Amino acid sequence: MTNPAPLPPVLRVPEVRAVEAAALAGSPRPALMERAGDAAARCALDMLGGAQRVLVLAGPGNNGGDALVAARRLREAWLPVTVVLLGDSARLPADAAAALAAWCASGGAVTTALPAAGPAPDLVVDGLLGIGAARPLAGPLALAVDCINHAGCPVLSLDVPSGLDADSGAVHGAAVRATRTLTFIALKPGLLTLEGPDHAGVVDVADLGLGDAVAAAAHGGLIAEDILRTVLPRRQRNSHKGSHGSVGILGGAPGMAGALLLAARAALLAGSGRVHAGFVDGAAPSLDLLQPELMLRSAAQVLSMDGLDVLVCGPGLGSGEAARACVRGALAFPRPLLLDADALNLVASEPALGAAVAQRGAPTWVTPHPGEAARLLDTTTAAIAADRVGAALAIAARLRATTLLKGAGSIIAEPGGHWLVNASGNPGLAAAGTGDVLCGLAAALAAQGADPALVLPAAAHLHGRAADLLLEAHGGPVGMTAGEVALAARRVLNAALYG
Measured CA to CA, the distance from residue 290 to residue 373 in angstroms comes to 33
Q: Given this model, what pLDDT does residue 155 score?
A: 98
The DSSP secondary structure of 376-390, one letter per residue, reads HTTS-HHHHHHTHHH
Angle at 163 between CA 162 and CA 167, to 5 degrees: 100
Phi, psi of 100 (to 5 degrees): -65, -45
- Tell me if 353 sits within 8 A of 326, measured CB to CB: no
Question: What kind and span of H or E run contains 310?
Answer: strand 310-313
Mean pLDDT per 10-residue section of the chain, whose length is 499 residues: 70 96 79 95 94 94 96 96 93 94 96 83 96 85 95 97 96 94 98 97 96 95 94 86 91 95 98 96 85 95 96 96 97 98 98 97 98 98 96 98 97 97 97 98 97 97 98 96 98 94
CB atoms within 10 A of CB 22: 14
Say what the alpha-carbon torsion angle 165, 168, 172, 173 is, to the nearest 10 degrees.
140
Query: Quick one: pLDDT at residue 1?
Result: 46
Find all residues with CB under 8 Å of 63, minimum gap 6, and list them: 127, 128, 129, 130, 131, 132, 158, 159, 162
Backbone angles phi, psi at 9, to 5 degrees: -70, 145
Residue 253 makes CB contacts below 8 A (sequence gap 6+) with 279, 280, 281, 316, 317, 318, 320, 322, 323, 342
> Which of 395, 408, 388 shows the shortest CA–CA distance to 365?
395
